[in-house]
Amino acid sequence: MDRIDLLLTGIGCLVTPVGNAPHRGQAMSELREIPQAAIAMRDGLIALAGPESDVLNGLGGAAVAETLDAGGCLAAPGLVDPHTHLVHAGSREHELALKRAGMPYLDILAQGGGILSTVRATRGASARELYEKAYRSLDIMLLQGVTTVEAKSGYGLSLETERKQLRAAKLLNDAHPLDIASTFMGAHAVPAEYKGRTDEYADLVCEMLPRIAEEGLAEFCDVFCEHGVFTVEQSRRILLAGRRCGLHSKIHADEIESLGGAELAGELGAVSADHLLAASDEGLRMLAANGVIPVLLPGTSFNLGLNRHARARDMIDKFNLPVSLATDYNPGSCPTESIQLVIMLASLNLKMTPEEILTACTINAACAIGRGHRIGTIEAGKQADIVLFDAPNLAYLPYHFGVNHAYGVIKNGQAAVWNRQIVKPRSNSGEGTP
């Protein structure tokens, strides 16, 4: 080894899952813990990670361009948020009173509010407005320790406006330090102009898919499979059409009613099935049998004021599933970018342990967006995406809640956040912005 770009020393404890595959059931608790550690990085990748003395010895005579002292922080893999509705316009605080008065989420949607209200705002927004709003959200995520995020379309519901969202995500992926995995979700709701004609709209979504795929705008196709939105049969049709275009399947499954979304995810071998509050035992069994990753969104059930939660303990203990966690950041059911709030809620309401939560937010989340071979652990050869928490141990993260524990974030081998501040912010007005 002749050169190291960045050497991170003074890590109080390095804690990471190991490997490229999802960690299932009890294996979610298996972490590698290395006290007094260091990480050497080169060309955006991890070159060496381990006890500080081993790393320093392993450097030999390599020239080190930059050294940063982690000051005793806890180092973990950069967090991955595998379910967000990042790119959209407007906000929905005007629906707060309805929600507090007890009006159900699907009733607000059926009356033309909810998702459809954000569709109107997103259709009316310029590409630049979408880009700038999402850029600010990405900064908040980065400051919390997130280094890769999934972003869905689904507030356009026409080819042109779905494209507008996905093109904004593509530009953001190039301009912002965070990496973005894009998902086409034309089947997020039935637009007002197709009211009562869901089958026809499902046909239109199938026609949009090749156009989205040929422009390289998405890796995944997602459907809101729910009573009053898309049926299991319509969801199957759309996801199979997506698959024919090379898009891997994701499903908003069994969020409110037990419709068979988890069973469909199993049948199709989807990459992930998300929400799952109402998933049946048979649905969970089918997820496990077909390698589908459950993505749980405890921020959503919290914000909707539900007193029921996804059965994370059953998923881990009984069904041997590789549970993952995400924010579901969106302007309606979960208006927060905070993965650290989700960490707290996963402990409080899903009864997950700190070790399971870290696995769920790193390697399992990476696998839920098909990136387990590149990110999600701190190991030689992986992308150098690392978060430094100002915390004495992992259990401190859900314990001391409501504050941001991220002191530093290394993205692709460079400090993107240091001393809780964004480093080298890139200009929003440079080339490539809409």
State whether residue 146 is helix, strand or coil. Answer: strand
How long a stretch of residues is the chain? 434
Orientation angle between helical segments 281-289 and 261-268, nearest 10 degrees: 20
Residue span binding ligand NIG (CB under 6 A) among the ranges 111-119, 172-180, 206-214, 261-269: 111-119
- Binding of ligand NIG by 359 (CB under 6 A): no
Residues 6+ away with beta carbon under 8 Å from 205: 186, 187, 238, 241
Return the residue of 147, 234, 333, 347 that touches ligand NIG, per CB under 6 A.
333
Residue span binding Zn ion (CB under 5 A) among the ranges 25-33, 36-44, 114-122, 326-334: 326-334
200 labelled as ligand-binding? no
Q: Choose from ligand NIG, Zn ion, none: what does 300 bind? Cβ within 5-8 Å by kind.
A: ligand NIG
- Binding of ligand NIG by 252 (CB under 6 A): yes
Burial of 173 (0-12, 13-18, 19+ CB in 10 A): middle
- Binding of ligand NIG by 113 (CB under 6 A): no
Q: Minimal distance in Å, beta carbon 428 to Zn ion? A: 26
Amino acid (one-letter) located at 159: L
330 labelled as ligand-binding? yes
Return the residue of 328, 337, 355, 356 that touches ligand NIG, per CB under 6 A.
328
Q: Choose from Zn ion, ligand NIG, none: what does 333 bind? Cβ within 5-8 Å by kind.
A: ligand NIG
- Binding of ligand NIG by 299 (CB under 6 A): no
Q: Choose from Zn ion, ligand NIG, none: what does 331 bind? Cβ within 5-8 Å by kind.
A: ligand NIG
81 labelled as ligand-binding? no
User: Which two three-digit tokens encode residue 282?
Assistant: 């048979």
State whether the Cα torsion 266-267-270-276 is positive or negative.
negative
- Binding of ligand NIG by 85 (CB under 6 A): yes
Q: Which is nearer to Zn ion, 219 or 328 (CB)?
A: 328
400 labelled as ligand-binding? no
User: Which two three-digit tokens encode residue 133?
Assistant: 């709003």
Report the distance separating Cα 274 and Cα 251, nearest Å: 6
Residue span binding ligand NIG (CB under 6 A) among the ranges 51-59, 110-118, 407-415, 421-429: 110-118
Report the distance separating Cα 149 and Cα 152, nearest Å: 10
Residue span binding Zn ion (CB under 5 A) among the ranges 64-72, 160-168, 322-330, 398-406: 322-330
Q: Which is nearer to Zn ion, 47 or 368 (CB)?
A: 368
227 labelled as ligand-binding? no
Task: Compute the C-alpha angle 329/335/337, nearest 5°.
Answer: 50
Residues 6+ away with beta carbon under 8 Å from 139: 176, 422, 425
Beta-carbon neighbour count of residue 178 at 10 Å? 25
188 labelled as ligand-binding? yes
Return the residue of 332, 376, 408, 413 that touches ligand NIG, per CB under 6 A.
332
DSSP string, 48-90: EEEEHHHHHHHTTT-EEEEEEE-TT-EEEEPEEE-----S---
Residues 221-240 contacting ligand NIG, CB under 6 A: 224
Residues 6+ away with beta carbon under 8 Å from 403: none
* Binding annotation: 83, 85, 92, 155, 188, 252, 255, 328, 330, 332-333
Q: Which residues bind ligand NIG (CB under 6 A)?
A: 85, 114-115, 118, 224, 252, 255, 300, 328, 330-334
Binding site for Zn ion (CB under 5 A): 328
